A = this chain, B = another copy of it.
């Protein structure tokens, strides 16, 4: 099931970046949940290319069509299939790359795996695949809302600039999707500078889930940490994950990082809301390390299919920093994961929690 995520809330994406369409099937959406196509579209608009000066100029309206599973405005409990047609595909941009394995891209590994590939824009490895995830994430968010859970995210680091604040209402007010307006301005400058140099820049995206009750997740192999880690590391370009205190805890002592529960609330949240793989009632806090986009205009040495090398400068239309567009994807993957463990906990206990 290489293209599916989840056990009870199962998300399966399909589609190549330059094929007819990308899309998703969500199997396991509970019945009776209000589903608004406008809400799904709103989330897709946060992910789509061309939305600001900081993102790729590829123009895709990314209109979503619901094909099944919704009747008279509510979910039926059956699979919900959603489709986004590819419109502004310019395969000719990629013709020159047919025989070339772009550095940092999956071109080589993909070819070695399958022995055949759609060389046009990364095909299945393209970030475009995440459109289906975001559509599914909108459903997951709708489902979680009925359980009192909200999921929000933002860019908290770009290059060396870090957000100092977490004002989640600020996120949609700046093109970086940073929860700190001041940091956002500096991040935007860094991104513009990278673009100017035909280069790209990495960053960190953080996602927070509020309202998750204690008891979601499992104690061993399917720890909530592990599921969220997989969810985030399945997003193109992510190369690291932190739950709560993350790597910073390695330099601390247990007396500092053991979150004390005073009978009402936790006095700290180094655990990121997850103890022993199970939610503990505190906010779920996760971070993803987003590497610099691999498509850059700067000349680079690239291997060729015939075994030699060549110098390429990737043309096409690309993102100098993909964090702003990763935000809705990361939120979606967290929401999908939480929807799944929510349903699993209903199975364990036989009632809402």
Contact = CB atoms under 8 A, between A and B. Distances in A.
A151 to B, nearest CB: 18
A116 interface: yes
Interface in A4-27: 4-5, 7-8, 10-16, 19-23, 25, 27
A27 B12 CA distance: 9
Given A255-B298, A263-B307, A13 B79 contact: yes
B296 A159 contact: no
A230 B222 CA distance: 8
B31 A25 contact: no
A120 to B, nearest CB: 8
Contact of A101 (B199, B217, B261): B261
Contacts of A279: 109
Interface in A91-120: 101, 103-106, 108-110, 112-118
Interface in A137-165: 157-160
B234 A244 contact: no
B291 A249 contact: yes
Interface in A186-215: 194, 197, 199-204, 213-215
Interface stretch (A44-52, A54-62, A122-130, A170-178): A122-130
Contacts of A118: 71, 76
B16 A254 contact: no
Contact of A229 (B27, B115, B233, B253): B233
A280 to B, nearest CB: 4
Given A81-B14, A125-B276, A272-B239, A114 B1 contact: no
A123 B78 contact: yes
A68 B15 contact: yes
A280 B19 CA distance: 25
Pick the most buried of A8, A78, A258: most chain B CB atoms within 10 A of its CB: A78
A28 interface: yes
B254 A67 contact: no
Interface in A334-350: 343-350
Contact of A32 (B78, B114, B278, B289): B114
Interface string A273-308: 011111111000000011111111010111110011
A155 B155 CA distance: 31
Interface string A68-92: 1101001111111101000000000
Contact of A105 (B79, B250, B275): B275
A103 B258 contact: yes
Contacts of A227: 230
Pick the most buried of A16, A25, A31, A290: most chain B CB atoms within 10 A of its CB: A25
7 contacts: A16-B69, A19-B68, A31-B348, A78-B219, A113-B219, A343-B347, A343-B348
Q: Which 9 A-B pairs have the closest CB atoms?
A: A106-B276, A104-B258, A2-B218, A200-B254, A112-B214, A254-B292, A109-B278, A230-B230, A31-B114
